[in-house]
Chains A and B, each alone.
Chain A
Amino acid sequence: MFEELSLHILDIAMNSIAANARTVEISILESQRRDRLVLRVSDDGRGMDAVLLEKVLTKRITTKATRKKNIGLGLALLRQTAEMCDGYFHVRSAAGKGTRITASMRLGHVDRPPLGDINGTILSLCAASADADVRLRYRTDTDEFRFSSKELN
């Protein structure tokens, strides 16, 4: 289990880069007013067809050839965290159309992991792909912060 939500985000978004995404967008909504935390990782990578998606979510498979033991844990871990914290977990994906993963949880839930080092997560993703545009959009009830690695180049 990851101790920080930002580690979940890093783990999930590394999949986006492995799927040859040109754009990886991480969106975090932290609302005290609605007592909600919503994380979303969207990419324009190669996506998954319905059959693969079903397998990924139920049978813990991985597409990564380097792993002989064939376990895909990342999504299952995030799902478990979201569901434990009165939230939901949703994946939308189609072959050739990218993937969007959403996890929501109750902000004030006693078991909710802290967001942790988002900066470290974004820097790691930038290091993982020189070509992809790694974007962050972070919102609270009153503030908003945006980042795009392509805007720096």
Chain B
Amino acid sequence: MSMELLMATGIGALTAVGLYLILLRRSFPVVIGLTFLSYAVNVFLFVMGRLAIDRPPIVGTSAAGYTDPLPQALVLTAIVITFGMTALIVVLSLRAFLETGVDDVTLGIRPDEQPSDTARSEAPR
């Protein structure tokens, strides 16, 4: 029972922290918040196969019972994908910071200034 309580509150805390950080204005906390959210979902997916202690996920001769291996495979895929996505968004926010000089998730351009921006005149590289 204590294991279930620990898992549930842990996922809840991670999600809450993630959501709070995502709603902040700077892009750095947003990225960290997204990471927290993906940790939360990874643990959540893992628990979806039910909690089983000391049970192997693969077939063995001495095993008394098994834990569900599918959530573990799903978590592995999810970890890989969110890792790649996080790397991308880190690079993206770094580039945005270097090009605009502000670490800010607002578009940084007021609506009435839009026609004068220079998005399409960038030199090819």
A, B co-complexed:
no
Q: Spell out B's residues near A (CB within 8 Å).
A: none
- A interface residues with partner B (beta carbon < 8 Å): none
